[in-house]
Chain A
């Protein structure tokens, strides 16, 4: 559950810790516990922050909570107080210009609850989903694995229409998902339960985007959780009634296509789906991709046109890349994000990776080989994943490659568990992504899609800024600028969080003073 950054240090604002001689004061009797804090998203833009704390204990089972809502400049704009079960926490929050919706989770009662609040701080609607034991376990295991800082995973605002949500459920042996849509203007909601007509044992949905009439998801399906290769489907649901508009497999005779993003086309019901593509018989966990593709689709799910940019042809003109997509020195590219700006251009943001020998793994092998008595000691893999440079690809409005750039950074490595020597570097990259081992941090775009900032970290091993640095690549009005922030500080630790467009939030913890300082800083 990485999405919500917990301020453990700030947990206890005030605690009664008094010696016998000391007299009591209101301040040292009062206890307030911060449970979680996080961003409030409006589409892909951060609009504010929330801080959720236990403001009082009401009974054995009930707490009084205060939900402090702050704007993008960290000004407190509203405090909402309510009583609820002592186990609830907030997973995500989203804003759509009229209301803020929070996703609450009660692990003890196994409940997911969506609540929307209006400008007056009053609750406008609520929807509760009781989870069975298996679904609860599934959510706790998987939540937080798909998204990055500054992005929601389960709750999304769809313009001023409402909010769409998606979460995994487990019914018997079936791994499935449920989608809900909550309308802003009316107390109306629909639910789509995929398990009702699901054939495969495993299906997982990821929200891609919406047009005026449909919401779109990429659905990964497998015959069984451990069986075979996953297959990618594109699911569209009618915004107004939740009925399936279409569900099409993205694996055709020519290539297998794995969508990563959806872009609408102004004034048209057609939309663009962007992603990586593979040979039709490829195993995506094992084989490397052939390049990047864009499909134009209509509202019925039919492909109107396709455009492919292969590594060895179109992209190869801009990068020293071989047919397998391996860039000289950089290795393969793991794509974190593909996006489209208002000027029609497309951008893909990736990071290099390659499989290399691990000195630690070899040492571990030697030790384990001599360790006859312990058959379970697996040690460290003799091969590890090396994460290299950051790469951006730029395309025109017809998805023709226009430019590519490699941003040098110090590489880092991810050790794998013993026995992983045989897995492909691509599987290692998927594992590295789930560990949060890539240096890429986030991409933030403004609501108008005119500018965006890519943020990544780099631990510099030499030079003037030796130590942890944060880098940003900003796109504004057709041009790129780069910026570097040294995170050297007297603080015990420093962390960078996404903030409003063009800004980052720097959080510094001063251990000696038990002080947590945060400030917004503009990128250059």
Chain B
């Protein structure tokens, strides 16, 4: 699953499509600390590298190389602008410990001077951007069972960097599509009066199929190289195979359950209605792929099948078997950071205007951590934000619409959101927070959600009472009312 940016263009387009254009809310709900100095120095180094890359571009196609480098830089910059990069000193120190273990054992990698950054994104992925930056999503860190598996992912991304896969892919792409031969072909097609688009589609497919085939080859190469790097460390090499084996199911939710909505949102004063769970019939038979479609989709896969990847590395792993190697170097820290990241992914979804996902994850996680007052607060805050948005008829700017392409549990949850009314949202938040207030009032974020739930449910006296409580009991106040 870890991505290596074989075709940056696709990634950039993809990210633009994900609606990350919003201004992130100030990190009020992050469970991590912010370190402005680290952020500034890291970004400065990335910017310096970008300027160096731009300065070194030569040749006829330098304009196009510059364009792609700019897209790559803008993508990284947008992650900084969105407060997507983890700057918490302790979290940075933790990931750097693992990176150091790998770099010290592999001087060839050390020479590349890589920057491994933790990215607050919830989806399980890691990517090597080609200019020295490796992004490791917190959504992948908390899916693995041990540090050795995470170390394999780090080695895999560093292997892409070492093998210069991203830059080679950019070279290949530009030198293909801006070659005289290709331009001649395009010119010929552009002058055609008829069947122009068919010819273009054929041409585009031929490049895409070739590009994706190379991409799959690069993945296999990076797997092999990663094992070479990992075997020099103290980590258990066998975990590489396990990590690869997990990729088929890594997109499953961390807490893989339907949120128990009836348990959370059933109150005697506002009883749960089964009609809220109703899903409409699939329109026009739903989404079906023909055999031809499936063949095209298979040819466009960027990564080889996980089973094949495991099969491919197993003999190497057996050959390199080293008794006494470790699954952890800091087990307790790993476990603790996983718990922190479970929450941080929710905070980032919330800040990224994906409130439906934040609420969904918060409800799932609450089932696992039932006494966690921060999670309770995020349920309340998400509902409160949905209430305010719905009142202005802007709910669908912060919640996703159901789609046959989505994960089934999440899609069921989105149908639930479609079925509830403005007053239901207010009531859910009010009763949910009120029932938990004894446990939660020491948590400032909880109190913020509690007070807003009173406002939305039209309980001004209760709201005032809790504002007074907040002002009396919290000397350093992050929220204003």
Contact = CB atoms under 8 A, between A and B. Distances in A.
Of the listed residues A58, A95, A524, the one surrounded by the most CB atoms of chain B closer than 10 A to its CB is A524
Nearest to A21: B63
A30 B197 contact: yes
Interface string B173-189: 00001100001001101
Contacts of A186: none
A238 interface: no
A24 B196 contact: no
B394 A26 contact: no
A77 B186 contact: no
Interface string A463-486: 000000000000000000000010
Given A57-B196, A485-B393, 4 more contacts: A24-B183, A24-B186, A30-B196, A71-B404
A48 B281 CA distance: 12
A520 interface: yes
B190 A48 contact: no
A30 B192 CA distance: 11
B196 A31 contact: yes
Contacts of B200: 26, 29-30
B481 interface: no
A16 B403 CA distance: 34
Contact of B194 (A31, A59, A485): A59
B394 A521 contact: yes
Contacts of A520: 396, 401
B183 to A, nearest CB: 6
A72 interface: yes
Given A26-B186, A524-B391, A75 B193 contact: no
Nearest to A32: B197
B284 A71 contact: yes
B393 to A, nearest CB: 5
A55 B198 CA distance: 9
B195 interface: yes
Contacts of A522: 390, 393, 395-396, 418, 421
Interface stretch (B239-247, B285-293, B328-336): B285-293
A69 interface: yes
Interface residues of A, number: 39
Given A24-B183, A56-B197, A524-B421, A77 B393 contact: no
A514 B19 CA distance: 17
A32 B390 CA distance: 36
Contacts of B270: none
A245 B105 CA distance: 90
Contacts of B90: none
A506 B395 CA distance: 12
A222 interface: no
Interface in A506-520: 506, 519-520
Contacts, number: 102
Contacts of B404: 71, 75, 77
A519 B280 contact: no
A73 B403 contact: yes
Interface string B337-356: 00000000000000000000
Interface in A58-75: 58-60, 64, 69, 71-75
26 contacts: A23-B178, A23-B183, A24-B187, A24-B190, A25-B177, A25-B186, A30-B197, A31-B196, A32-B197, A48-B283, A48-B284, A56-B196, A57-B195, A72-B280, A75-B401, A75-B402, A75-B405, A95-B283, A95-B284, A119-B284, A519-B397, A521-B394, A522-B393, A522-B396, A523-B393, A524-B390
A469 to B, nearest CB: 11
Nearest to A18: B190
B186 A519 contact: no
Contacts of A444: none
Contacts of A254: none
Interface in B411-470: 418, 421-422
Contacts of A56: 194-198
A262 interface: no
B257 interface: no
B93 interface: no
Interface residues on B, range: 35 or more
Interface string B366-399: 0000000000000000000000001101111100
A15 B87 CA distance: 44
B41 to A, nearest CB: 35
Given A71-B283, A73-B402, A74-B401, A58 B195 contact: yes
A31 B393 CA distance: 35
A524 B422 contact: yes
A119 B395 contact: no
A524 B387 CA distance: 11
A120 interface: yes
Nearest to B285: A119
A175 to B, nearest CB: 37
A354 interface: no
Nearest to B414: A73
A35 interface: no
Nearest to B415: A73
B186 A57 contact: no
Contacts of B183: 23-24
A58 B196 contact: no
Interface in B296-318: none
Interface of A: 16, 23-26, 29-32, 47-48, 55-60, 64, 69, 71-75, 77-78, 95, 97, 100, 119-120, 485, 506, 519-524
Of the listed residues A25, A75, A100, A485, the one surrounded by the most CB atoms of chain B closer than 10 A to its CB is A75
B185 to A, nearest CB: 9
Nearest to B191: A29
B198 A119 contact: no
Nearest to B406: A75
Contacts of B401: 73-75, 520
Interface in B179-233: 183, 186-187, 189-190, 193-198, 200, 203-204
B284 A78 contact: yes
Given A16-B190, A32-B197, A522-B390, A100 B284 contact: yes
Contacts of B287: 75, 77-78
Which A-B residue pairs are the 7 nearest by beta carbons?
A119-B285, A56-B197, A71-B283, A24-B186, A73-B401, A75-B403, A521-B393
A47 B196 contact: no
Contacts of B189: 29
A69 B64 CA distance: 36
Contacts of B285: 77, 119-120
Contacts of B403: 73, 75
Given A521-B396, A522-B395, A29 B283 contact: no
Contacts of B197: 30-32, 55-56, 64
Contacts of A31: 196-197
A423 B193 CA distance: 55
Contact of B204 (A26, A58, A72): A26
A519 B396 contact: yes
Given A29-B200, A520-B401, A522-B418, A77 B283 contact: yes
Nearest to A505: B396
Contact of B284 (A24, A25, A58, A69): A69
Contacts of A523: 393
A508 to B, nearest CB: 11
A74 B288 CA distance: 16
Contacts of B393: 485, 506, 521-524
A55 B196 CA distance: 10
Contacts of B280: 72
A72 B414 CA distance: 14
Nearest to A16: B190
A418 B394 CA distance: 45
Contact of B288 (A30, A120, A519, A524): A120
B370 to A, nearest CB: 31
A352 B423 CA distance: 32
B31 to A, nearest CB: 31
A48 B404 CA distance: 14
A57 B284 CA distance: 28
A75 B280 CA distance: 14
